Amino acid sequence: MTEKQKKIRHLSQPKTAAEWIYRLRFTIARRFVQFCLLAFFFGSARFGFKVADKFILSGDLSSSRILDMIPLADPFAALQRLCAQYWLSPETLIGAGLVLAFYWVVGGRSFCAWVCPMNLVTDFAFWCREKLGIKTNVLSLSSNLRYLLLAVSLILSLCTGIAAFEAISPQGVLWREIVFGGVYGLLSVIFGIFALDLAVSKRGWCGHLCPLGAFWALWGRLSATKVKFDNDTCTRCGDCLKVCPEPQVISFKDAAKVGMIRSGECTNCGKCVSVCPENSLKFGIRFIKDTKKTQ
Amino acid sequence: MLRKGVQIGAVGVGAGLLWGLFLQKTGRAQGFVPRPPGALPPNEFETACSKCGLCVEACPYDTLKLAGFKDIAAPGTPFFEPREIPCYMCRDIPCVKACPSGALPHTFEDITKAKMGVAAIDHNSCLSWQGLRCEICYRDCPEQNKAIIIENHPRLLSKHAMFVPVVMPDSCTGCGLCVHSCPTDRPSINIVDPEKFLGKIGDHYRLGWKEKLDARAVPEAPMKDAGKPGGLDFLNSELP
């Protein structure tokens, strides 16, 4: 920056369908993954849809099986039940271990952007905010509030003997009632969270309150897949900050130092990657140094 | 620093208390509900259950369902309503096998030992107890002659005896087939909470006449073909 001022450019609005698809490639991929997972679970529960006499995915996000065989379990739900003084079954431990290992590879909060059904609701609310130009932020919350709620959920589990967040989790209700049927809970969590994000607090649920997101954010500090940052090409245009659902994670100073977006709160949604005019942001593995620069 | 600490503490405690209040409603069942066979005792069950619905998917009769917010059971936990679809007591117990969390322990292997609840008869509306010939609950009971027996009661004004069903709580699994098939408008037999319904007689009572009967009872003579393989326990089991 000091030696020569770089010229700031912005990506132009895509014109053709192909350009739009390319621009939205990560969003399309995320929606695809989210809907595929929902469809697999839904098909197993409602229609008994099987391949080779086995369910592809059965259960729900708290606990499930792939092909009736490989167990998966939500590690945060398991942790709460552990706090509630219940010794977990071996299957839950294996399942939670597998899920932790998987998200260690793909990035902790990848769950939030790529799997969680509530992401559909909150992304839609955010999109509506942008389109309608809603600027109100009645409740300006700290994005660290979620860590407090994470602690509260674990303490409550300990005190009451019930997995505290699992008992009220809006995404749990959303997923369960889509997959297994139910109307009242489904509508109330969709509209409740939508209203919160739209009119009360910008990115209120996913960005500030959700303890599950907080759990994955803590795990994401260690995880392998990160958005890599190339300081040499970056012009500080700030386009990434405008689209990022968690803008506090983009700190140019820190990113320039370590060459990536280090914060665990990054959801690996890829919005910044697709909007960056200089291709300074790319998905990469934290341990692999970018070789392009040396050649 | 202190100001910030007080703020964080206040938000944490406030959120925790409100949340805890909400948990009273959503965390535990608000009364008795029949759970899947072999389930842990009520409070432990809600702690252990991961609300994944794998037991619901495994149930071949669509008996089990996950509770919603309007149900007595804690939202997301499995239960069934015997009047709609009772538990048909599958011998291989697929719901227990499906459970990943240990809320339905895999050590539970004999479905006839299930205690999903206990059947209780309302004598004032039961057709058999009024003197009609019904006995449908007795016929439908999968533990016939063990969980529901028929007693003959003499009648005051007629030669014909009454044939009344009586529940034997020790053998009753709470499957609810009797509730499902009871022909009265509202079922005259129901699955109820054993904890609340069943009494305990007390050790100091002596039922002398029963002791006499027991003393007189002759041990059953072994059957002629005792060594041979027996009949079928279930219609869908294979011949031995």
State the ipTM, two decimals. 0.83
CB contact under 8 A, B54 and A64: yes
Question: Model's pTM, two decimal places?
Answer: 0.82
Domains and CATH numbers, chain A: 25-218 (no CATH), 226-285 (3.30.70.20)
Residue B156: other Cβ atoms inside 10 A: 4
CB contact under 8 A, B50 and A45: no
Q: Band the pLDDT of A184: cuts 50, 70, 90.
A: confident
CB contact under 8 A, B48 and A173: no
Arithmetic mean of pLDDT over chain B:
87
pLDDT of B218 reads: 66
Distance CA B116, CA B194 (A): 9
A227 strand-pairing partners: A283
pLDDT of B223 reads: 63
| Under 8 Å between Cβ of B191 and B116 | yes
Between A86, A95, A160, which is nearest B27 by CB? A160
Domain limits, chain B: 30-111, 118-199
Q: Give the mean pLDDT of B207-223.
A: 72
Cα B41 to Cα A80, A87, B120, B173, B187: the distances in Å are 19, 15, 20, 14, 26
pLDDT of B164 reads: 93
SS3 call for A276? coil
Nearest in space to B197 (alpha carbons), one of B119, B140, B126: B119
Tokens describing residue A220: 């994401």
H/E run at residue A54: strand A54-55
The two beta strands, A70-73 and A63-66, are: antiparallel
Convert the pLDDT of each residue in B29-81 to its tens digit. 888 999 999 999 888 898 889 888 889 988 999 999 998 888 888 888 999 99
Scan for tokens 């016929």, then name that residue: B139
Q: Topology of B30-111 in CATH?
A: Alpha-Beta Plaits (3.30.70)
Distance CA A250, CA A238 (A): 10
**Chain A nearest-CA residue for B8:** A148
CB contact under 8 A, B76 and A77: no
Nearest in space to A262 (alpha carbons), one of A273, A248, A276: A248
Cα B158 to Cα A54, A117, A239, B131: the distances in Å are 61, 68, 94, 10
**Chain A nearest-CA residue for B27:** A167
Among A185-189, A209-213, B157-161, name the one with the lowest average pLDDT: B157-161
Q: Topology of B118-199 in CATH?
A: Alpha-Beta Plaits (3.30.70)
Look up residue A12 and give its DSSP letter: P
Distance CA A225, CA A153 (A): 28
